[in-house]
A and B are shown apart, each in its own frame.
Chain A
Amino acid sequence: MSTVQTPTPPVERALPARSRRSRPRWVAYLPYLIPGALAFTVVILIPFGMNVYYSLFKWKGGLAPMKFVGLENYAALMGDEQFWTSFRNSIAMILAMVVVPTLIGLVLAAVLFDYLGRRFGGGVAAFLRATYYLPQILPVAVAGVLWNWILNSQTGALNVVLRSIGIDDPPNWLGSTSSALPTVMAVLVWVQIGYPVVIFMSALQRVDPELYEAAELDGAGWWRRFGAITMPQIRPETFVVVLTCTVAALKVFGPIYVLTRGGPESSTLVPSYYSYLNFFDKSKVGYGAAVATVLTLVIVVVALVILTLQARAERREEGGR
């Protein structure tokens, strides 16, 4: 994302007819921003401000009276075991939606592009890529409902099969506190894996094949070339994938809602679902707003850290040249 080519060219171009005017040229373009600015203010800025405002109140929502409590909601969060559980589970979500898919995706993309693609032709690679990408196009709720049934302890396909091959007491995948989180993580890896594969494969297309040939002539094996050429060459895309997936992992809601609703016993609770629960289930609107505000803060800080790391990596690379 921060490979943003900011729309600033080094050379300012001058339109002779307009530069003579006293008003700068760009002012005339401001009307084009009006609809966007209005819509943005109404849908993003004001609601976000109101959410922060709500978080300072004790409020049951609707017409119930609002009682100003200052930062009390935030203080309560600090001592709230469920709140901390939800953020601990966010780390598991990052593992399942960022770390594992990115690592497997890197290897898969390189194998498809550079190994299978060259030995069996591009068609094979494209076909395999499409199958890996398929879960990405489904509405996540549909994928969740399907998995929810497959993993159902009584009637689900997985346990029926396990029982038929002689395992009498298969695990209650989504229903026990010990296995629910790892199971949700596995489903999320399945959902997520196609995204890095597709991005990395397109990234590999801009790597100069001569680099590989030169390395091959020097006798570098496949893994050497992977580490010395593939990984550094597609670092910009890796940052994009890591940034977008980390933000998505911190925001994840749909899969949790359809798979476990945060249960059993909060073992799969995540921050977004916890704030939803407070808003619409427990009628603790101020408290839910506080959770959402903290989550926003965490996302922004994490994103800034990733962007800074990327900027530093780019600078180091330029310095090394």
Chain B
Amino acid sequence: MATDTLTPSVDESPAGQVLRATRPDQRHRRGVARWFVLAAAGLFALLMLAPFVIMLLNAFKSPAEYSQDGPLSWPTHLYLDGVVAFWERVDFPQKLLNSIWISTAVAIGGTLLSLLNAYAIGVGRVKGRLWIIMLFLLANMLPQEALVYPLFTMAQQVGLSNSQWSVIIIFTVIQSAFGTYLLSSVLGTFPPALLEAAALDGASRWQILWKIVFPVVRPTLSVLMIFFFIWTWNEFFIPLVMLTTNDTQTIPIALASLQGDRMMDATTTNAGALVSLVPAVIFFLIFQRTLTRGVTAGAVK
């Protein structure tokens, strides 16, 4: 890291320390060192962005221009054939719909299942709840390889081979393992007074869940839904195994299965990567605030 040479060092002279101690506020706005630190952090950001920049530069070049001018040149004219070739080759709208359908179904189903589980564990305080949560946590750690072959054969037996429903069911459960764990600890701190008041008014448990609990935890639920959506959208292994034909596949699988294909020259690869990551970036921009809050919530819970 470049920063360690540039940040104010530990061993400063006593005189300097006295000066700093007396005028801390001014000191923060002074000095050249901070510009070096900023430059180093900015350079690191550039390094992180470099692959995206290279991709943007080359997604709109013709193969001839790429081999002539190289990857770092500015495209001389907008060449859309790479994007079009990828779009048509993988039937992108279909893959997009597949991804949206699977991720949305899992986001809704997984959140619902988490809420039901967490209601029994957090509010109902069923016996053995600690063990149940442990079990869910353990399930969250399992490598999918330890489940995939049996799931694959089971799906075949019930007529769900190559069906998006198999992927939806599997991820609804896997995601809800995490959701139950998170929501249970949230609902464990649910204000008892609210529940008692509702119970005295004669509300049933089902009514309490939807009329009292649900509105209060809705922000947490929406964060969970976004998480589930993105995680499912990015999933690779189980969709790769379960979705065996072109028409059922999701975007990441479609892109990866084109690798090594003859038509995937440099520009088409870039166009494909660009088109494939646009939905993720759009989604991220829309939900950035909720997400940052959600990451935080996930960290402390």
Contact = CB atoms under 8 A, between A and B. Distances in A.
Nearest to A49: B150
A40 to B, nearest CB: 6
Contacts of B269: 145-146, 149
B169 A39 contact: yes
B280 A39 contact: no
B126 A107 contact: no
A64 interface: no
A50 B154 CA distance: 10
Interface stretch (A27-35, A70-78, A176-184): A27-35
A233 interface: no
Contacts of B147: 43-44, 47-48, 51
Contact of B141 (A247, A285, A288): A247
B34 A115 contact: yes
Given A144-B256, A199-B295, A299-B143, A26 B124 contact: yes
A135 B284 CA distance: 11
A7 B184 contact: yes
Max chain B C-beta neighbours (<10 A), residue from A124, A134, A279: A134
Interface residues of B, number: 119
26 contacts: A1-B137, A6-B133, A7-B185, A8-B125, A13-B196, A26-B124, A28-B205, A35-B113, A36-B113, A43-B151, A44-B174, A47-B150, A108-B41, A115-B7, A120-B34, A137-B281, A142-B252, A147-B51, A164-B70, A216-B20, A222-B8, A251-B144, A253-B144, A276-B148, A276-B237, A296-B143
Interface of B: 1, 3-4, 7-12, 14, 17, 20-21, 24, 28-29, 34, 37-38, 41-42, 44-45, 48-49, 51-52, 54-55, 58, 70-72, 113, 116-117, 119-127, 129-130, 132-133, 135-139, 141-151, 154, 169-170, 172-174, 176-177, 180-181, 184-185, 187-189, 192, 195-196, 199-200, 205, 209, 230, 233-234, 236-237, 240-241, 251-253, 255-256, 259, 265-266, 269-270, 272-273, 276-277, 280-281, 283-284, 288, 292, 295-296, 299-301
